[in-house]
Structure 1
Amino acid sequence: MVSRAEPSLSGRWWWSIDRVILTTLVALMVSGVVLLMAGGPPVAERLGLSTFHFVNRQALYLVAAFAIFLATSFLTPRQVRRAALLIFVVSLAMVVATLYLGVEVKGARRWLTLGPLGSIQPSEFLKPAFVVLAAWAFAEGTRRPDLPGTTLAFLLLPATIVPLVLQPDFGQTVLISLVWGGLFFVAGLHWFWVIGLGGAGMGGVLVAYQLIPHVRARIERFMDKGSGDTFQIDTALESFAQGGWFGKGPGEGTVKRILPDAHTDFIFAVTAEEFGIVVCIVLVALFALIVLRALFVAQRAEDPFVRLAVTGLALLFGVQAAINMMVNLHMMPAKGMTLPFISYGGSSLLSLALGTGFLLALTRKRPRAEGFGEFGR
């Protein structure tokens, strides 16, 4: 127990942190390891690895991720901005480096090999840093019209997504663009621009469909199952039907033994078969609670940067989760997007820890006596 009068850094942190978001995030982290024990072992055995290879690695990644998560949550809003700027510059440089030095996997160069440290996907770390910087730019444009903040926010989007398109990584491109559009709307810019940007986005999708075979194939498979291989989607849908409301029980699933990405993109389907649709609904509720709670806190924030950054980080987290679950349910074309804190992946887990750490840092209560309102600057 920590007294409210405790003057230490940890004491001030405990009484200022949003415990609803903190508790829900920790619950998701723990759930991820438990659910990976269902989807990970069959994939590891097919690849000739030890049965709990992915589970053990995820547990190690989770230790590092939790350290980043806690350390980041201690930052002030000013420190969050500075950290985001540094991470953005480094990550963007690494994304560009993947175009020349990256390892090609399934026709895309998204990974850099760092010797004994293994591989890293720089675009994962680019996302939370981009959101914070875009929020900063929009906030400055709103607060100080004499500064080109809004113009900088406009330039930030193409500078970020062009290297991602060249990899190609259309899943991350769509996610970043959607969150940027959400920030644009929340910043209070004119509806004319919102509608125009929406039309430009649809035009970009049509151009990608016409010019890029990979995108065309995914969209056509989504619209017409007879146009290509839909094995993973069909198998995922079958897992929901077989699991029913309460599932077959831990370890009793069969679909995971033939589903190639059972431990990553389609772990939600594996969860449905073994633990049932009820557990899937609980997961959806946890994601929704984090997003709604963050948006509620953002609405009360007086500082424009805090309001926009919290909104953007909440959207980033929620939209990524929604995309993964919708793909599993065949509600949109496959994107290769992980389910936050549930899917296997070191880069994904560490970047999520960074983003949610930023979220916790910005939603901490700060005394008005500091001169920056309840949530501080």
Structure 2
Amino acid sequence: MQKLLQHIKGDKVIWSIVVLLSLFGLLLVYSATGTLAYKNDKNASAYLIKQFAMIALGIGIIIAVHKVNYAKFSKISVLTYYLSIPLLLYTMFYGAKINEGSRWITIPVVHITFQSSDFAKLALFMYLARLLSMKQAVIKDFKKGFIPVLTPVLVICGLIAPENLSTALLLGATCCILFFIGRVQVRHILMLALAGLVGIIILVAASVYFDFGRGATWVKRIEDFRGKDASGNKKEDPFQVEQAKIAIANGGVAGRGPGNSQQRNFLPHPYSDFIYAIVIEEYGLVGGAVIVFLYLLFLWRCILLFRRCPYAFGAFLGVGLSITLVFQAMLNMAVTVHLVPVTGLTLPMVSMGGSSILFTSMSFGIILSISRYVDEMEGTKTGSPKKEGSKLFIQNGADKAAPVVTA
């Protein structure tokens, strides 16, 4: 153990949060998959073993990635971005359909599936952080600064939206925040938000009218959330929302205790989309508050890291990845308590998953790589300029708070 800890660098609080969320995930998945194991005629521990294997692999990925100098991700970001485009196109036309959505790619021979949007999210934030850091000198200019950083966001979100609108909206919102932090003109961001809203309306209307994509599903989810159909007639809550509310009511303040959930036998997907309902039923409002606190603590530590990081690429990359992870968690929990329509997003590192855990682990690893590098820099006392990979980072004379990387 002592030798292992010697290889663990970076923010210890973030490491602790990763471990705690993973342990929560193991307990909850074991509890929530009992009925699923029975239906599929599997051993009650089958899904626990699978989750443990994925968590162990994820931790291994975090350890490996956090040892890599994060500047190297700037070099590979161009490749990963352009690779994500054909993957998303393939998914759109030939992807495996699971839960009514074509979001998955099946790898031949090994028959392993993964969501191409998970890869695209990671690729987009690496590429966007690179562009923002390189365009700081002209970022206020619409043509020279804003259009180049906007284009990859429109491409990726546009390819994801037809089959996974919730992920596209999450990405778009996170990128708008990243634009604001990256000193993009506020009026340009507002123009983007307005154009995005119009684009969503057109996409949904076209999907319903021409009967392609998931337009009917999106409309139904909005109607279910409003409690009224298109004619204004009152509708009952959808079954999954109703069962989630029962689970929350059963949990009370202290919960029923680990493994004592009743609604796991009725709630659809209690191990993924609605796992937060099981959290509250078994651990009560106290347990639910602990989960919220862990994600908010993670975001706070990443914001501190953003303020400490002297270089634009690392700062933008760290804050972009952390915000999207926390936004996803908050949306998942908001769906469970019926604050927003059903989205299909999972709870990072807690919900049962395969590729989602691995890509989430990569994100944690990159954030810890930035933290490790910042800690090492703060531990050295030198006034000489530093190189990060093959790129020399300098301070922008017009804004000392916004370091930029030379192209």
TM-score in terms of structure 2 length: 0.84
Task: Give 1 or 2: higher helix fraction.
Answer: 1
Partner of 2:202: 207
Query: Kindly, what percent of the aligned residue pairs are identical?
Result: 25
SS of 2:33's equivalent in the other structure is helix
Residues 158-186 of structure 1: CA deviation (Å, up to 9, x unaligned): 211222123x1112101111111111111
Matches for 1:252-263 after TM superposition, within 5 Å? 252-263=260-271
SS of 1:113's equivalent in the other structure is strand
Is the 1:209–1:215 Cα contact (8 Å) retained in structure 2? yes
Partner of 1:235: 243
Q: Which has the larger radius of gyration?
A: 2
Q: Shift of residue 297 of structure 1?
A: 1.4
Does structure 1 residue 66 correspond to structure 2 residue 25? no
Question: 1:60–1:87: structure 2 CA closer, same or farther, 3 Å change rule?
Answer: farther
Question: 1:103–1:228: structure 2 CA closer, same or farther, 3 Å change rule?
Answer: farther
Match of 1:160 among 152, 156, 160: 156
Q: Shift of residue 117 of structure 1?
A: 4.2
Q: Shift of residue 62 of structure 1?
A: 1.3
Question: 1:190–1:149: structure 2 CA closer, same or farther, 3 Å change rule?
Answer: closer
Q: Shift of residue 148 of structure 1?
A: 4.8
RMSD between aligned residues: 2.6
Matches for 1:99-110 after TM superposition, within 5 Å? 99-110=92-103
Unpaired segments ≥5 residues, structure 2: 207-214, 229-233, 394-407
Partner of 2:174: 179
SS of 2:43's equivalent in the other structure is coil
Is the 1:112–1:121 Cα contact (8 Å) retained in structure 2? yes
Match of 2:147 among 151, 164, 170: 151
Partner of 2:276: 268
Partner of 2:346: 338
Cα distance in 2 for residues equivalent to 1:23 and 1:371 = 33
Residues 183-232 of structure 1: CA deviation (Å, up to 9, x unaligned): 11111111211222222232233334433222111111111164476110
Is the 2:273–2:347 Cα contact (8 Å) retained in structure 1? yes
SS of 1:116's equivalent in the other structure is coil
Matches for 1:271-310 after TM superposition, within 5 Å? 271-310=279-318
Answer with 313-322 or 136-145: which moved more: 136-145
Partner of 1:137: 131
Partner of 2:223: 220
Q: Shift of residue 65 of structure 1?
A: 1.1
How many correspondences in the alignment?
368
SS of 1:340's equivalent in the other structure is coil
Partner of 2:325: 317
Answer with 305-314 or 320-329: which moved more: 305-314
Match of 1:29 among 22, 36, 55: 22
Is the 2:103–2:117 Cα contact (8 Å) retained in structure 1? yes
Cα distance in 2 for residues equivalent to 1:2 and 1:59 = 22
Does structure 1 residue 356 correspond to structure 2 residue 364? yes
Is the 1:138–1:150 Cα contact (8 Å) retained in structure 2? no
Is the 1:366–1:373 Cα contact (8 Å) retained in structure 2? no
Q: Shift of residue 144 of structure 1?
A: 6.2
Question: 1:251–1:192: structure 2 CA closer, same or farther, 3 Å change rule?
Answer: same
Cα distance in 2 for residues equivalent to 1:358 and 1:176 = 18
Cα distance in 1 for residues equivalent to 2:31 and 2:277 = 11
Residues 82-128 of structure 1: CA deviation (Å, up to 9, x unaligned): 34444333333222212232112233211111132421112112212
Corresponding letter in the other structure for 2:98: V
Partner of 2:191: 196
Answer with 43-52 or 175-184: which moved more: 43-52
Task: Give 1 or 2: higher strand fraction.
Answer: 2
Residues 317-356 of structure 1: CA deviation (Å, up to 9, x unaligned): 1101011000001000111000000001101100100111
Cα distance in 2 for residues equivalent to 1:238 and 1:206 = 33
Cα distance in 1 for residues equivalent to 2:43 and 2:174 = 39
Cα distance in 2 for residues equivalent to 1:159 and 1:25 = 31
Cα distance in 2 for residues equivalent to 1:305 and 1:150 = 17
Question: 1:268–1:342: structure 2 CA closer, same or farther, 3 Å change rule?
Answer: same
Corresponding letter in the other structure for 2:342: A
Answer with 262-271 or 298-307: which moved more: 298-307
Cα distance in 1 for residues equivalent to 2:198 and 2:249 = 36
Does structure 1 residue 366 correspond to structure 2 residue 376? yes
Partner of 1:6: none
Residues 41-93 of structure 1: CA deviation (Å, up to 9, x unaligned): 22222333332232221111112211111111111122122344443333332
Cα distance in 2 for residues equivalent to 1:81 and 1:214 = 38
Is the 2:121–2:171 Cα contact (8 Å) retained in structure 1? yes
Answer with 320-329 or 91-100: which moved more: 91-100
Answer with 355-364 or 48-57: which moved more: 48-57
SS of 1:343's equivalent in the other structure is coil
Q: Shift of residue 2 of structure 1?
A: 7.7
Cα distance in 2 for residues equivalent to 1:208 and 1:218 = 16
Cα distance in 1 for residues equivalent to 2:346 and 2:23 = 16
Is the 1:210–1:216 Cα contact (8 Å) retained in structure 2? no
Is the 2:71–2:314 Cα contact (8 Å) retained in structure 1? no
Partner of 1:75: 68
Cα distance in 2 for residues equivalent to 1:304 and 1:321 = 26
Cα distance in 2 for residues equivalent to 1:260 and 1:47 = 15
Match of 2:337 among 325, 329, 332: 329
Corresponding letter in the other structure for 2:116: P
Cα distance in 2 for residues equivalent to 1:53 and 1:241 = 29
SS of 1:174's equivalent in the other structure is helix
Is the 1:131–1:179 Cα contact (8 Å) retained in structure 2? no
Is the 2:254–2:284 Cα contact (8 Å) retained in structure 1? yes
